[in-house]
Amino acid sequence: MSFTGDLEHLPIVDVIQLLHSTRKSGILSVKSRKGESQLVFKDGYIVSANHLNNTIRIGKILVELNAITPAILDRALQEQNNAGHERKPLIVTLLEKGLVKEGDAYRGLEQLIETTIVEILTWKRGTFILDVLPSAAADDYRYYPEKMNLEINVDTQSILMDSLRIFDEKVRDGELTEEELPEDEGRLISADDLGLADLDQLERKIPEVFSGLADADPALLHRQKIAAAAPGLSLPEREELVSFLGKCSAAAAPAGEPALRGGRPRPVIFFSADGLASHAIATVCKQAGMLVFTSNEEQDLDPIIAQALSKNSVPILVFDAPEQADGPFSAERLASLRRQKMAQYPQLCTIQLASPGDAAFSLHAYGDGVRAVLPKPRREEQQERFVADTIQFLTTFRSYLEECACERENSRSGWLKAASAGLTGLREAPEVASVLLACVAGLCERALTLIVRGPELIAEKGIGIRAGKEQGAAPTPGFRIPLAKPSLFRTVVEEGHLFCGATADAVVREHLFAAIGAPGRATVLLLPMKSRGKTLALIYGDFGDKEPAALDLDLLQIVARQAELVLENSLYRKKLEKP
């Protein structure tokens, strides 16, 4: 899996968690106006870091931890310089010479990684790019060589939590400011700073990653990617494709300003083993302001989809055209995987690519219910026009994604219009609560109205609780939920803010789920209905036994605010009507 995007669309914490959950190996490069830092992953664990600040080096950190003395550091650096082609990373040199304890080496690396993550957490604007490396390539970044049978793998979740804690404490104490831009941004830390300067003596694919990231010319990156993914193309064909992709990169939407006419970027998940298509589609999607994930492994799809849905963003899932008669990208395997994901996530927009002459495969895809089947050029069939047809395909593909986004925006507008019309002319709180209940039920599998009565919530009407949604609203057994002790319910009632997400709250489990049954996933929605700043009721929603779907929280908050205004206007009208 490889992807690129903006920190505005996917915060660095989510990026790290996604890499950890999918157990990927690669170099994550994060850039902002301050500079560039890198985190190196192996099987989902962070094994190295490269801080943008030139003064933050692993050797200096070990000295500050009193793990080594300045004299020992100078001795190790001198031995590195004298080693020539046999030079090894600094920590390896220290360990092999018995100059540092293994536990101290761990602590030093953990502090370097924490410092790097804390710095990146201050960046709200910037871009990230992951260059995925196979496990064999990632081994070249080991702090312990293969013959030592040891390797420093820092626990990703633990160090991420520690970094967030340190970040919060520094912000609280005024030591850090988000998006702060120091006068002297400094130069990027070099590979030599970490004792990795001789990585160019290793396999060529490792240095190429860093040289590609460091080069400011996007055309060079496109040229390298195309040469590696499509070596059969002639030089003029490569340059024609490089020129097109270079123009796309130059016209990419600025961070925070998506180019889509629909106004909202949507994640694109491209399942493919075609390196050229993956890079080209990522480039044109970047131009449209879309975050792109590419993968050639089936087990990667669920974590990526879940990550997008957890951010209330419905992704577009694109399957590449079948390539071989058997294997993971055969027509049969692709069709089976496509049907599985469409049944599991019916809310997704699914697009299938197919060879221009493969009518049977295209018809089967439409029969499964895909949104569209787009013809993808094949060099074996269109040698003379392959590049020209590919450029036309990419242009059309980008335009189609824009149309999908526009359709979603139109559906959002229609939903908001219908909800607003339902609230028009209402005067009583139960009527307003019924409209909000119907709105939530239209988005969730189960919905329930919980009335605030002093120190407890009282269940009133529900949809999909005791019978199917088609039966409409029905009274629920009058079970009660206490608000006396701290709980998710009490927080939403007191603060009056919408909640949507997974919860392990004991009151939710012991009182609500015990009465109506627990959903398949503990992802719940609590929408407060307020009047004059006071919460009168909570509208609860969940997804029953289905997978959680993305909810448009902005629209729900707009409708809830309109309901609050309706109730306030009703109170004023009643006061005016009194003799």
| pLDDT at residue number 499 | 93
How many residues does this entry show for the chain?
A: 579
Query: By C-alpha distance, which of 458, 493, 492 is closest to 475?
Result: 458
Q: Report how far residue 306's alpha carbon sits from residue 361's, in angstroms, rounded to the nearest whole number.
A: 28
The answer to whether 272 and 296 have CB atoms below 8 angstroms apart is: yes
Q: Report how far residue 487's alpha carbon sits from residue 500's, in angstroms, rounded to the nearest whole number.
A: 15
Segment 331-377, tens digit of pLDDT: 999 999 999 998 888 878 899 999 988 899 999 999 999 999 999 99
Return the minimum-mean-pLDDT range out of 120-124, 162-166, 232-236, 257-261.
Answer: 257-261
| pLDDT at residue number 451 | 93
| pLDDT at residue number 179 | 55
pLDDT confidence bin for 159, thresholds 50/70/90: confident
Beta-strand (E) ranges in 296-382? 316-319, 349-354, 372-375
Position with higher pLDDT, 512 vs 12: 512
Ramachandran angles phi, psi of 288, nearest 5°: -85, 5
Segment 400-415, tens digit of pLDDT: 888 887 666 555 666 6
| pLDDT at residue number 205 | 38
Segment 16-71, tens digit of pLDDT: 888 887 788 888 888 888 888 888 888 888 877 887 776 677 788 888 888 889 88
Query: Is residue 258 over pLDDT 50?
Result: no
Query: Is residue 94 over pLDDT 70?
Result: yes
The answer to whether 208 and 142 have CB atoms below 8 angstroms apart is: no
Query: Is residue 191 over pLDDT 70?
Result: no
Q: What is the DSSP string of 187-253?
A: PPPPGGGGT-GGGGGS-THHHHHHHHHH-S-HHHHHHHHHHHH-TTS-HHHHHHHHHHHHHHHHTPP
Best mean pLDDT range from 57-61, 422-426, 454-458: 454-458
Query: Is residue 463 over pLDDT 80?
Result: yes
What percentage of the chain has pLDDT greater than the value 90? 24
Query: Is residue 232 over pLDDT 80?
Result: yes
Average pLDDT on 211-236 reads 74
Q: Report how far residue 44's alpha carbon sits from residue 24's, in angstroms, rounded to the nearest whole number.
A: 5
| pLDDT at residue number 270 | 92
Domains of the chain (ranges, CATH numbers) = 9-214 (no CATH), 217-414 (3.40.50.2300), 424-577 (3.30.450.40)
Query: Is residue 190 over pLDDT 90?
Result: no
Average pLDDT on 118-135 reads 77
Position with higher pLDDT, 140 vs 452: 452
